[in-house]
Amino acid sequence: MNNGMYLALDFPTWEMSKQFLEENNLHEVPVKVGMELFYREGMHVIEELKKRNHPIFLDLKLHDIPTTVMRAMKNLAHAEVDLVNVHAIGGSEMIKRAKEGLTCVNDKTKLIAVTILTSMDEMEMARDLRLPNNINDNVLHLSTLAKQSGADGVVCSVHEVRAIKEACSNEFLTVTPGIRLMNSKDDDQKRVATPAMAKELNSDYIVIGRSITMAEQPFDAYKQALEEWENGITK
Ligand code: C5P
């Protein structure tokens, strides 16, 4: 069962990830595998997680020339995970080819496009990327581009969900990282929100990592986050 809350398995190895999941009784919970773990373990980690019935978001954020992304997606599609992603900033042709690569192998995996990373604020976006306008405008523009190019949804912050749904349709998926429990640190995330806010603002999936993995009692933190996410109430 997919409860819509992907736990970010940001650990260096499968052994450490497995230990964390087992020690904290996090059986069959949805998980996100990112670059750190995948670059170390490759498809092996996906197979192990599938054996244990974890729904999987494979967060590799592809960004390359369209043909390379299409071929890479074709390979990743064999993993038959729920979600994979690309950077929307790679452009329309790249997103279209990513979708083509996926759908020629399976029609289950959803293609998600990253808009502006939730670790960025307006000042950094203007200074480093030299993108004009504000974050909301750029996120909306990239979401519309992603939708027109065949993506099934976007990664964005909770604060952008409403405008994206209005511009792209309610069915267009929003996957929101930058989730923090009230009492945890922001770390490097800038556009943060609680699981309850994500629920209230109509996010489809949330991604949560350090608020749980760095908590003194990870199982309790997981339970609290899930309760907030399912009921929309901050405890
Ligand atoms: O620990 P934390 O909850 O900040 O983890 C967020 C996870 O979501 C990290 O694995 C990060 O790579 C990922 N992510 C993100 N922003 C995006 C896409 C993915 O923070 N736009």
Residues in binding site for substrate: 10, 32, 59-68, 118, 180, 189, 209-210
Quote the pLDDT of residue 235.
60
Question: 210 C-alpha to center of ligand 1: Å?
Answer: 9
61 included as an active-site residue: yes
Quote the pLDDT of residue 157.
94
How far apart are alpha carbons 139 and 163 in whole angstroms? 9
Positions in the chain whose pLDDT score sits under 50? none
Quote the pLDDT of residue 14.
98
Atom of ligand 1 nearest to the CA of 8: 10
The model carries a pTM of 0.95
Quote the pLDDT of residue 147.
98
In the chain, the domains with their CATH numbers are 5-231 (3.20.20.70)
Quote the pLDDT of residue 184.
76
Hey, which residues does 33 pair with through a beta bridge? 58
Hey, which residues does 5 pair with through a beta bridge? 206
